Copies of this chain bind each other. A is one copy, B any other.
Amino acid sequence: MAQNIYDDPGFFERYSRMRRSVGGLDEVLEWPTLRDMVGDVRGRRVLDLGCGMGWFCRWAADAGAASVLGIDLSQNMLARAREMTAAGRPIRYETADLETLALPPDMFDVAHSSLAFHYVEDAGRLYRTIHAALAPGGRLAFSTEHPILMAPSRQAWETRPDGRRVWPLDGYLREGPRVTDWLAPGVIKHHRTLATTLNLLIAAGFTIERVDEFGPTQAQLAAHPDLADDLERPMFLLVAARA
Of the listed stretches A13-21, A53-61, A67-75, A203-211, name the one at the interface; the rest are far from the partner chain.
Answer: A203-211
Residues A172 and B232 in contact in the complex (CB < 8 Å), given A148-B148, A166-B152: yes
List the B residue with the shortest CB-CB distance to A197: B211
Given contacts A148-B148, A213-B195, contact A172 B233 (CB under 8 A): yes
Q: A199–B211 contact, CB under 8 A?
A: yes
For A199, the chain B residues whose CB sits under 8 A away are: 210-211
CB A143 to nearest CB in B, in angstroms, measures 13
Tell me, yes or no, whether A170 is within 8 Å of chain B by CB. Answer: yes
Is A174 an interface residue when CB atoms closer than 8 A count as contact?
A: yes
Cα(A234)–Cα(B175), bound, Å: 12
Instruction: Please pick, from B170, B210, B234, the residue contacting A173 in the complex, using a CB distance under 8 A.
Output: B234
Contact check, B153 vs A234: say whether CB atoms are below 8 A apart.
no
Q: Which of B166, B172, B193 contacts A168 (CB 8 A)?
A: B166
Assess whether A107 is interfacial by the CB under 8 Å rule.
no
Interface residue tally on A, bucketed by range? 20 to 34
A148 vs B207: C-alpha distance in the bound complex, in angstroms? Answer: 25
For residue A202, CB closer than 8 A to chain B, the reply is yes
Contact of A169 among B167, B210, B212 (CB under 8 A): B167
B residues within 8 A CB of A166?
152, 168-170
Q: Could you tell me if A173 and B231 are in contact, using CB atoms closer than 8 angstroms? A: yes
Q: Give the residues in chain B near A212, CB-CB below 8 Å.
A: 195
* A166, A171, A174 — most chain B CB neighbours (10 Å): A166
Contact of A210 among B202, B207, B213 (CB under 8 A): B202
Let me know if A165 is at the binding interface, CB within 8 A: yes
Chain A contact residues: helix, strand, loop or mixed: mixed
Which residues of the other chain, B, contact A215 by a CB distance below 8 angstroms?
A: 173
Within 8 A of B (CB), among A173-232: 173-174, 193-195, 198-199, 202, 207-213, 215, 230-232
Q: What is the chain B residue whose CB lies nearest that of A158?
A: B168
Determine the chain B residues whose CB is within 8 A of the CB of A213 once the complex forms.
172-173, 193-195
Closest CB of chain B to A36's CB: distance in Å?
12
In the bound complex, residues from chain B placing their C-beta under 8 Å from that of A233 are: 169-170, 172-173
Instruction: State which residues 133-176 of A face B: CB under 8 Å.
Output: 148, 152-153, 158, 164-174
- Please give the distance in Å from A10's CB to the nearest CB on chain B: 30
A231 — which chain B residues lie within 8 A by C-beta?
A: 171-174
